[in-house]
A and B are shown apart, each in its own frame.
Chain A
Amino acid sequence: MEMKTGRKRGLSFYLSIYRKILIQDLKSKMSFRADFIISTFGMILTNVSGFITFMILFHNFPSVNGWDYHHMLFLYGFSLIALTPVQCFFDNNWNLRFMVRSGDFIKYCFRPINVFFYFISEVFDVKGLGQFAFGLGTFIYAWAHIGIPVTVVTVAEAVLFLITASLFMIALMNFAAATCFWIINSGYVMVIMFRFKDFAKYPASIFNSVFRFIFTFIIPIAFVAYYPSLVFVTPDHVPLLSWLSPPIGVLFFFLSYKFWMLGVRKYDFTGS
């Protein structure tokens, strides 16, 4: 038997593995039919309820800080889309603390593939797709009503900004989940971090300077929808931060990934 040399595994490798895992996982999830349907319904209901809340608000008030109904709707739709990847693809972070505590986590370290990828790829949350559909519908509707031109450029921008916006919430949850490598009650950290996502659907301009600072530079929830949306909603006055949101997003995600992997190394080191 010859010795296998260490082979490099690139992006295409990981993409094809993920696609295969995903297809299989979806096939088997469908078999839990009642839970699947109810959870999807529950997700949609949550979104509908949020939408109704929205409408009631605008039934009584003309605008929020200069953002009228359709602009707020745009923000709302944008945030829902941007919040979908963390819901669908990174749901396993919620299980991290249990697996680390029980020792089961170690099984992710024995295969010749990236531990973060292996762990995250195990779970795909289908009910997040309901949120995506709702968000996309809202987004397109608002886009049309605001009258944003539909060109190759604007559509490409939309895709780019949506993807990089999603990185922020993913990164925040990575940070929150990885705390389980250091403290016991990390579940609470995750729950609190998750609540911050509710701030994403509102323009950061409603906050005073202290909160705006917090939501821009400390817990950057304002980048999930507010800053990127400005590129489309106020194309004549786009602040620098909005243009910078893609590279900041990538950097922030990278930092959270490093932090997560640091936790894995620490886990190995103490073997706990």
Chain B
Amino acid sequence: MTKIRKLTALTKAGIIESLQFRLGTAVMLFGNLIYLALVYFLWKAVYESSGVSVVNGMTFYDTMIYLILATAIFNFLEMFIVWDMSRAIQSGEIIMHLLKPMRYRVYTFWSYTGAHVNNFFLAFVPTFIVVSVITKGAIPIGMNLLYFVVSLILALVVNFNIEMLVAPICLYTESTWGINIVKETIVLLLSGATIPLAFFPEGLRQVVEYLPFRAVYDIPLTVLLAKNGTDTPAGLLAGLGIQLLWCVVLSVCGNLFWKHAVKKITVNGG
């Protein structure tokens, strides 16, 4: 079996498994609706109180679209790597994975891809269509869609690397929930997923520019909405370039950290 076939098979298996979680998907969507309802009313109220329609370059519509799509991306990116890995470590299952011929990190990435493909079509695309229709085409339809897909894939890789960096920490500290919540809180806040980065006060904004988290949400979203200079080739390449940079940096760090963790696992016998 060639490598490509192996990977395709994995992806297919992941899709089938994912489809069985229909209830989970329905719940996820419902949970999103709740969250978005809150977002809608909250931002409507604050915009009304400010008296102006554009704040920091964003109108109410801009903000809504941004946050709705951020939620869609969140669902798309959601991986239970940290949970699954710590469970596998605790049960000793991880030894079996390490024995398999494929490298664990690569294997993990591709085994989740099935869920992602599934997610993309079941969650993201419908959301996108709905938002497009409701806002009567506020999302530009053009080449930016293609760039967006590229950016999204890069965001996926960056996110994956963040997860793989965090997961072994659970191994060292024997704490799962705490680590996971810390990671999630930080990522969601500093990536522009909870509040668009456009609203961040200057000082904070500067700091956030240098962190990898905006590569996960802010960059793909601004590419999609063709904002922030990404409608120019220079701006676009800058954005994608930053993502690529973080992919590489985090991947290298992650690999080193992972090798160290594997040593610890094998020493402890799982």
Contact = CB atoms under 8 A, between A and B. Distances in A.
The B interface is mostly helix, strand or loop, or mixed, namely: helix
A208 B175 contact: no
Given A45-B182, A60-B55, A35 B174 contact: yes
A191 interface: yes
Given A53-B189, A211-B41, A39 B175 contact: yes
A198 B38 contact: yes
Given A45-B185, A192-B30, A34 B173 contact: yes
Contacts of B174: 34-35
B49 A66 contact: yes
A46 B34 contact: no
A49 B189 contact: yes
Interface stretch (A4-12, A170-178, A199-207): A199-207
A66 B47 CA distance: 12
B201 interface: yes
Interface size class of B (residues with CB under 8 A): 35 or more
Contacts of B175: 34-35, 38-39
Interface stretch (B96-104, B192-200, B255-263): B192-200
B56 interface: yes
A261 interface: no
A49 B49 CA distance: 24
B35 A206 contact: no
A106 B58 CA distance: 57
The A interface is mostly helix, strand or loop, or mixed, namely: helix
Contact of A45 (B24, B35, B46, B181): B181
A195 B45 contact: no
Given A38-B178, A45-B182, A188-B27, 11 more contacts: A38-B175, A42-B179, A49-B189, A53-B189, A53-B195, A56-B201, A56-B204, A60-B55, A192-B34, A198-B38, A206-B42
Interface of A: 34-35, 38-43, 45-46, 49, 52-53, 56-57, 59-66, 127, 185, 188, 191-192, 195-196, 198-199, 202, 206-208, 211
29 contacts: A38-B173, A39-B177, A39-B178, A41-B182, A42-B178, A43-B181, A45-B181, A45-B182, A49-B185, A49-B186, A49-B189, A52-B189, A57-B46, A57-B195, A59-B199, A60-B46, A60-B56, A61-B50, A62-B50, A63-B49, A64-B42, A64-B45, A65-B49, A127-B178, A202-B38, A202-B41, A202-B42, A206-B41, A208-B41
